[in-house]
Structure 1
Amino acid sequence: MATAPNIIFIMADDHAAKAISCYGAGINHTPNLDRLAKEGMRFNHCYVTNSICTPSRATILTGVHNHVNGVRTLVSDIDNRLPNVAKQLRVGGGYQTAMIGKWHLGEGPRHEPTGFDYWTVLPGQGDYHDPMMIEMGSRVVEKGYATDIITDKSISWIEKRDKSRPFFLMCHHKAPHRSWECHPKHKHLYQEDVKLPDTFTDDYKNRARAATVAKMKVADDLTYGDLGLVQPEGGDEVGERLVKGWHERKIPNPKDVTSLRLMDRETGVMFTFTSQTELAEFKFQRYMKRYLRTIASIDENVGRLLDYLDSEAGLAESTIVIYTSDQGFFLGEHGWFDKRFMYEESFQMPFLIRYPREIQPQSVCDDIISNVDFAPTFLDFASIRIPSYMQGVSFRSLLQGRTPADWQQVAYHRYWMHRDVIHDAYAHYGVRDQRYKLIYWYNEDFGLEGTRPGGEEKEWELFDCQEDPLELFNCYHDPRYQEVVQTMTKKLEEKMLEIGDEPVHLRDDAWNYVNGVNGTVSILKDKILNRNH
């Protein structure tokens, strides 16, 4: 009987699948990440339950949705008394456990990592260069580049482990989170321009208002710091401050750009412009090249870790290695950077996994999985009972090349931070299946910290991801799609019932809704009417 596998979970921050070369976008080269796909499996439809850093991390750790673990927004802290997958592995399977790198779930006795034999984490977002780290409660400044340091510490912990027991390591990188600061040795990379996305000049027609008002536009909302430019002194005429008290300013996007002068922070090179189009594309190229150079260190360090495993007797065969990101990221699609939305580039997580004992090399999976499924899958591989509180489902069978007939081909997403003061992104929830995506923009903040009151018009969106993969045409009100609307609405309500989340679209105007859209009768209405029978 095979012994329980070791598990190494490597997670980056804001790493879009398109910025991994095995996903085929052709914008960069990541040979070491590609090696995981070559020697294991690549998932094309892995999705995040809440496309923002802190909630995603909480879901991965606990195996439950954010309305259950209580970490709904970026300013939420986890209650570390909650059960989590590390505790289950340690107590139920005798695993040695470690958390190294970015935690971002709070600090102090009630929020620091628990369930780990060893932990050393960055406070908050952390720094790229000479970062402060909190090691088992004590603060220490580590000299060097964060991605290198996190990998060094991960390898060192593996070397010092008790070799008689399996281990679980969460190696969490800061990169490539903004503002993007690459290792000095990678500054020469990506001199050629990156191809503009087809939707870079999106005008947001036939979409929900949320797409128009969001302050995540490459042309308007990147800061001087983001692009490595000198920030001039002055008032609003030199750039809008993002929020009161924050020192960074957005780079202007004036109608007349001819008087605008931008200076490289390191070289002193001055840039001038003749049109808004030229300025927007300049910002895009600066953004993308800085982002991709930061990813170069991630790829390099994943290679270092894989080389170490391959050099140690038996570790490559007996260790599950996973690479993912805490959510997707916009790389200029729809003119945006950042994440938050349920649109595909933000919603899709990269997911690569190698385990020679069970996973065939060069496998590709097109079934739908979600980050809430990670923890149950870890426990399944460790032959540890999956606790009843976990809402995810193990996808071990998919890794073995078997898709169960009743597999959940639906992913659920809910973003709670209505109109946060920086990005102005609207609150929404929805579901995606293999072809369609339904989104409800409910536009309420539920009194959450760091958000602004709602009151905006509520809207629905439906996208046919097969016919419209760029998600440019909302077909919710198209008569040809009314049966799809009904089907996807039922899928949404079934998923919300399954996980116990609040269906806002049925709260105040339930009866009008269920009787008003083409005679659709909600499964929730049926359950309400029959709950006592």
Structure 2
Amino acid sequence: MKKVILAVAGILFLLPLNTKAQKSKTKRPNIIFIMSDDHAYQAISAYDDKLIHTPNIDRLAKEGMLFTNASVTNSICAPSRATILTGKHTHINGKVDNYFPFDTTQVTFPQIFKKNGYKTAMFGKLHFGNNPKGVDEFMILPGQGNYINPDFIVTNGDTIRKEGYVTDIITDVSLDWLKKEAADDEPFMMMYLHKAPHRPWWPRADKFKEFTKKRFPEPATLFDDYKNRGTAAKTAEMNLLTHMMYSHDSKIRPETLAKMEGKVFPVVEEYPNGFYGPYNRATAEQKALYDPVLDSINDFFYENWPKMNDTEKMKWKYQRYMQDYLGSISSVDDNVGRLLDYLDESGLAANTIVIYTSDQGFYLGEHGWFDKRFIYDESFKTPLLVRWPNVVKPGSVENEMVQNLDFAQTMLEAVGIKPPNDMQGESLIPLLKGNKKDWTRDAVYYQYYEYPSVHMVKRHYGIVSKEFKLVHFYYDVDEWELYDRLNDPNEMNNVYNDPAYADTVKKLKKDLIALRIKYKDSPEQDQKYIDKYKSAGMIK
């Protein structure tokens, strides 16, 4: 009898522990949303290891899911962020470009998380607005922000300056918040938003020294002549040779250019302070770390540039671009590693969904370009990696057509919050759980508005499936393009007028009209935003 009593007592003693363990297992998951700025998918080694090795970001692919057909609805910074925050296309949330203001009456997903009992925070680059809604604590860069000794706007509205490198600082603050606020009894949603690798690319001094010694393989389309494309590709102003700037981008000092007057063609610097603006933020000690590398770059340029032909100049500019762009990404990867390590060490990893993405893709010399804006793949596609322990199968790869339009709904549904009915995305939960039979989308919709403007990419909209891409360029042209994504992955040949694709064009035009109706877009909406540009004096 005594043994029975002891056994029952032992069971009763264990019950609270088992109950507590079960409660922990069913606790709503935390979310860390990581976004870099202009991080091309082809500069993540989980996608392609030709340019750079990113072991820490790759961990999310090994331990979660890699999306190979993730894309944006509008490939430009602020509109992309507005779409992510609202789960709505830019013509609905009002942020169609980097100029017109965001409609602050729009409900953002951090507000919904906060309303539903989540601690919320945002650290890094928001790009628009100085008082993000729905976050308990924030520290955000004003506008584009700076790489060296950056300023930040903090929760009480003050602007502070922090000494150091922006990627490290954003991570330091994010880790401090996690250590202070990430408690077991209350779930959290943190947005960890990097400035890097946005132009102008200033790596940390040690990365600057390391990466200027590297040489990178050139893309097959570096010397693209656009002969099988329309007006838009031929007239865009984002060519490495003719549009990438010497001081602002390649780190050529104005004094060096002044000494070379008449020897450099063309000398076009739209940003007079393009070099000294970033450089003069550095302390004397920091400048001393940068100067030997800057001296080496400038000495080579002064001695060799006048003797180089256009092909050699293009190749040199490409290498300079990659050295700085990829050097900036290397710091992002290091710091993502710091954050993932902390999640493991603290025990938070087991109940935290980690998402890594960018606000859009970026051209890394493909088609001879830098920047983004186009519906063509390097700009349109964006990295997306999701780790969700015990839900997402480690090492899984998904090729369905998904968009940044889907992120808000996915995060809300992942934690059991019903998304608002006016969100336009589709939850990725079926794909994350491996239930592809529950996924019905076969094509996505895209529209770009900011023209005429920097880089002169014409206004266009289009439909993209896994097999095809149909695009309509409008406003000052009326041109259609069709690309066979499977047989022409580099998008070199517009087959819109090829009789073999006549049925495809007919079907895609019908599907495009249906998507325009579904997302409440129309020729009238197009004209509305043209009229806004006219009334603002931006176009005639």
* Smaller-chain TM-score bracket: 0.7 to 0.9
Cα distance in structure 1, aligned partners of 2:85 and 2:200: 26
Which is greater in Rg? 2
1:173 paired to 2:203: no
**What is the aligned partner in structure 2 of residue 510 from structure 1?**
none
With over 3 angstroms needed to count, the CA separation of the structure-2 counterparts of 1:406 and 1:325, relative to structure 1, is closer
Alignment match of 1:212 (pick from 205, 226, 234): 234
Alignment match of 1:203 (pick from 225, 238, 245): 225
Alignment match of 2:295 (pick from 266, 281, 287): 266
1:58 paired to 2:82: yes
Map 1:141-290; keep pairs closer than 5 Å: 141-161=161-181, 163=183, 164-190=185-211, 191-224=213-246, 225-231=248-254, 232-233=257-258, 239-241=266-268, 243=270, 247-248=273-274, 265-267=294-296, 268-271=298-301, 272=304, 273-290=307-324
AA in 2 matched with 1:441? F
Cα distance in structure 1, aligned partners of 2:366 and 2:396: 28
Assess if the C-alpha contact under 8 Å between 1:100 and 1:153 holds in 2.
yes
Assess if the C-alpha contact under 8 Å between 1:9 and 1:322 holds in 2.
yes
**What is the aligned partner in structure 2 of residue 2 from structure 1?**
26
**Aligned-pair distance for 1:242?**
5.4
AA in 1 matched with 2:338? R
| TM-score, scaled to structure 2 | 0.85
1:98 paired to 2:121: yes
Alignment match of 1:486 (pick from 500, 506, 511): 506
Deviations 1:336-395 (A, max 9, x none): 000000000000000011111201110100111000000000000110111111001101
**Aligned-pair distance for 1:458?**
1.1
Alignment match of 1:129 (pick from 143, 148, 165): 148
AA in 2 matched with 1:226? D
Map 1:345-384; keep pairs closer than 5 Å: 345-384=378-417
**What is the aligned partner in structure 2 of residue 49 from structure 1?**
73
Residues paired across the two proteins, number: 474
AA in 2 matched with 1:146? V
With over 3 angstroms needed to count, the CA separation of the structure-2 counterparts of 1:480 and 1:504, relative to structure 1, is farther
Assess if the C-alpha contact under 8 Å between 1:228 and 1:264 holds in 2.
no
Deviations 1:4-63 (A, max 9, x none): 110000000000000000102411110001111011110000000000000000000011
**Aligned-pair distance for 1:150?**
0.4
Cα distance in structure 2, aligned partners of 1:441 and 1:79: 26
**Aligned-pair distance for 1:193?**
1.7
With over 3 angstroms needed to count, the CA separation of the structure-2 counterparts of 1:162 and 1:176, relative to structure 1, is closer
Assess if the C-alpha contact under 8 Å between 1:230 and 1:264 holds in 2.
no
**Aligned-pair distance for 1:77?**
2.6
AA in 1 matched with 2:45? S
**Aligned-pair distance for 1:206?**
1.8
**What is the aligned partner in structure 2 of residue 432 from structure 1?**
464
Alignment match of 1:304 (pick from 333, 338, 341): 338
Assess if the C-alpha contact under 8 Å between 1:441 and 1:460 holds in 2.
yes
The percent of aligned pairs where both chains have the same amino acid is: 43
Cα distance in structure 1, aligned partners of 2:249 and 2:478: 33
AA in 1 matched with 2:335? N
Cα distance in structure 1, aligned partners of 2:259 and 2:80: 38
**What is the aligned partner in structure 1 of residue 430 from structure 2?**
397
| TM-score, scaled to structure 1 | 0.86
Assess if the C-alpha contact under 8 Å between 2:140 and 2:152 holds in 1.
yes
Alignment match of 2:63 (pick from 31, 39, 48): 39
Assess if the C-alpha contact under 8 Å between 1:80 and 1:113 holds in 2.
no
Assess if the C-alpha contact under 8 Å between 2:50 and 2:217 holds in 1.
no
Cα distance in structure 2, aligned partners of 1:154 and 1:270: 40
Cα distance in structure 2, aligned partners of 1:389 and 1:149: 36
Assess if the C-alpha contact under 8 Å between 1:264 and 1:270 holds in 2.
no
**Aligned-pair distance for 1:89?**
1.0
The gaps in structure 2 that reach 5 residues or longer are 1-24, 276-291, 528-540
Deviations 1:299-335 (A, max 9, x none): 000000000000012x111000111100000000000
Cα distance in structure 1, aligned partners of 2:420 and 2:511: 25
Assess if the C-alpha contact under 8 Å between 2:430 and 2:438 holds in 1.
no
Assess if the C-alpha contact under 8 Å between 1:436 and 1:463 holds in 2.
yes
**What is the aligned partner in structure 1 of residue 96 from structure 2?**
72
The gaps in structure 1 that reach 5 residues or longer are 250-262, 445-455, 508-533
CA RMSD of aligned residues (A): 2.0
**Aligned-pair distance for 1:489?**
0.9
The 3-state SS of whatever aligns with 1:11 is strand
